[in-house]
Amino acid sequence: MTPKRARSAKRAKPAKRAKPSAKRKRAPAKGSRAKAKRRVAATRPARRGSPERDRILDQLRRAFEGEAWHGPSVLEALDGVTAQQAHVKPIPAAHSIWELVHHITAWKDIVRRRLLGEYPEVTDEMNFPRVTDPSEAAWQAALEGLRAVHVRLREVLAGISDEQLDEKPSSKTSTRYIQLHGIIQHDLYHAGQISILKKA
């Protein structure tokens, strides 16, 4: 190499790298993406549990306990009824109020068991149990039994999700949705009967 070329080589500077455009941004690291997702998730409204199940629970409460749209609930219709009133049959061919209480109690428990996958055989005696003791103490025990089985039915319903409502608990039953609305309608139907028998 000639001296002239050597001096030129010393003076030559390496080419500078082009600066990245200000518009280009580095892709966030994996950890950064995860943090961003968590921040977005934190700003979203919390998912509600089972809104349809909760509406059915409310309708079941209204039909049995009170605040029903149509009129008196089961307990409101039974309010003030004595053992003597409950036992008499003002309409001979119809069931007494007491028999209706036994019937409502029986079907609440039947539906509760069906929701759990059981399929109890419904005999005539189970459908309308006879009144063997017409005392006031026995009447109060019948009312307490009605309230207790209603609470147990509500507890089973509270453990059901919206997704399970359209499922059949067993091959012999209808869906949980149909059974639950059925027992609500059952309460309302017999509450009306009790209200009429009180006036007879």
Retrieve residue 32's tokens: 């950064």
Domain ranges, residue 124: 55-199
Retrieve residue 159's tokens: 């453990």
CB 146 within 8 A of CB 105: yes
Residue 133 in domain: yes
The residue ranges of DSSP E strands in 111-157, in sequence order, are none
SS3 content of the chain, % helix, strand, coil (to 5): 60, 0, 40
CB 71 within 8 A of CB 123: no
Residue 47 in domain: no
Q: Return averaged pLDDT per consecutive 10 residues of the chain, 200 residues in all.
A: 48 51 48 43 47 98 96 97 97 96 98 97 95 97 98 98 97 97 98 95
CB 63 within 8 A of CB 73: yes
- The C-alpha atoms of residue 34 and residue 29 are separated, in whole angstroms, by 9
Q: What is the pTM of this model?
A: 0.75
Residue 9 in domain: no
pLDDT of residue 49: 76
CATH number at residue 167: 1.20.120.450
Retrieve residue 31's tokens: 């950890």
pLDDT of residue 48: 57
pLDDT of residue 19: 52
Residue 28 in domain: no
Retrieve residue 188's tokens: 């309302």
Instruction: Return phi, psi of residue 60, to 5°.
Output: -65, -40
User: How many structural domains is the chain composed of?
Assistant: 1
Residue 187 in domain: yes
Residue 108 in domain: yes
Residue 64 in domain: yes
Residue 19 in domain: no
CA 139, 104, 193, 79 torsion-angle sign: positive
